[in-house]
């Protein structure tokens, strides 16, 4: 399998549930990202991992908990979510984190559509 | 702070007609600029990017974009649209020290037969 794979593609959960989103990249990249895509809003960067170390957390509520056990896998653990958290969650990877003289060319997965009831 | 503006939320063009999607960015230095496309139910796919050099860049699927520093713009063009081009298009800028992409809100393209 190639590229960036996200599972599950669709998830429905209640506000008291605990679930996880999984992302796997087969590109040999060193950086991985979680983005949130809501209707009529720009993509929001949630978390950035570089070489398995979290380097950015964009003021994301603690009910979202990322985990990066190795450079190929990224998880987003979800608990006690709110209906406004319903969105498409996109995982992406890049060769390196970028910045400075480097540039970020992101490869995205197909996303996990989350609905919170 | 960096920002990206895509002024058109939704555009409809006839198949075979030309297309131009607008993108304006705010950044002090020379930015790295990108266009991504998202088909329904899918993630984002890179169409093209501008890092430096020739201000007219070619991408996949027959798309091109032109960087105009004086206008802070990076508009996407295609001379003849195909029905399969119907999708949402996102412009993005990467110019910060953190190296994170800032996306516009997107332009949805519909194609009439």
pLDDT by residue for chain B (113 residues), tens digit each? 778 999 999 999 999 999 999 999 987 777 889 999 999 888 999 999 998 889 999 999 999 999 999 999 999 999 999 999 999 999 999 856 555 788 999 999 999 99
Taking residues A42-71, report their average pLDDT.
Answer: 87
Q: How many CB atoms lie within 10 A of CB A102?
A: 15
Helix, coil or strand: residue B91: strand
Contacts of B81 (CB under 8 A, 6+ apart): B13, B14, B15, B16, B17, B18, B19, B109, B111
B101·A48 Cβ contact <8 A: no
Q: Which residues of B touch A41 (CB under 8 A)?
A: 105
Q: Rounded to whole angstroms, how far apart are CA atoms B82 and B88? A: 14
Cα distance between residue A57 and residue B79, in whole Å: 41
Task: Write out pLDDT tens, residues A64-117.
Answer: 999 999 999 999 999 999 999 999 999 999 887 765 445 668 899 999 999 999
3-state helix/strand/coil string of chain A: CCCEEEECCEEEECCCCEEEEEEEECCCCCEEEEEEECCCCCCEEEEEEECCEEEEECCCCCCEEEEEEECCEEEEEEECCCHHHCEEEEEEEECCCCECCECCCCEECCCEEEEEC
Q: What is the mean pLDDT of chain A?
A: 89
Across the interface, do A42 and B105 touch by the CB < 8 Å criterion? yes
Residue A37 above 70 pLDDT?
yes
Cβ distance of B90 and A97 shorter than 8 Å: no
pLDDT of residue A1 exceeding 60, the answer is no
Closest CB to B100 among A48, A105, A109: A48
């Amino acid at each position: 399998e190639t590229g960036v794979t996200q599972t599950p593609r669709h998830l429905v959960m209640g506000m008291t549930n605990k679930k996880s989103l999984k992302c796997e990249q087969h590109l040999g990249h060193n950086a991985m990202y979680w983005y949130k895509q809501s209707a009529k809003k720009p993509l929001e960067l949630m978390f950035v991992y570089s070489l398995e170390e979290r380097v950015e957390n964009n003021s994301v509520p603690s009910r979202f908990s990322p985990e990066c056990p190795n450079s190929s896998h990224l998880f987003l653990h979800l608990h006690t979510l709110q209906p406004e958290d319903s969105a498409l969650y996109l995982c992406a990877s890049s060769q390196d984190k970028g910045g400075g003289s480097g540039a970020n060319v992101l490869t995205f997965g197909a996303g996990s559509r989350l609905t919170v009831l | 702070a960096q920002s990206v503006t895509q002024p058109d939320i939704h555009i409809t063009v006839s198949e075979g007609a030309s297309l131009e999607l607008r993108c304006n960015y705010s950044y002090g230095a020379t930015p790295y600029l990108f266009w991504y496309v998202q088909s329904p139910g899918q993630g984002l796919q890179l169409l093209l990017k501008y890092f430096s050099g020739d201000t007219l860049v070619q991408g996949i699927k027959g798309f091109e974009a032109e960087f105009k520093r004086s206008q802070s713009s990076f508009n996407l063009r295609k001379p003849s649209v195909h029905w399969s081009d119907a999708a949402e298009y996102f412009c993005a800028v990467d110019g910060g020290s953190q190296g994170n992409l800032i996306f516009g809100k997107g332009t949805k393209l519909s194609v009439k037969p």
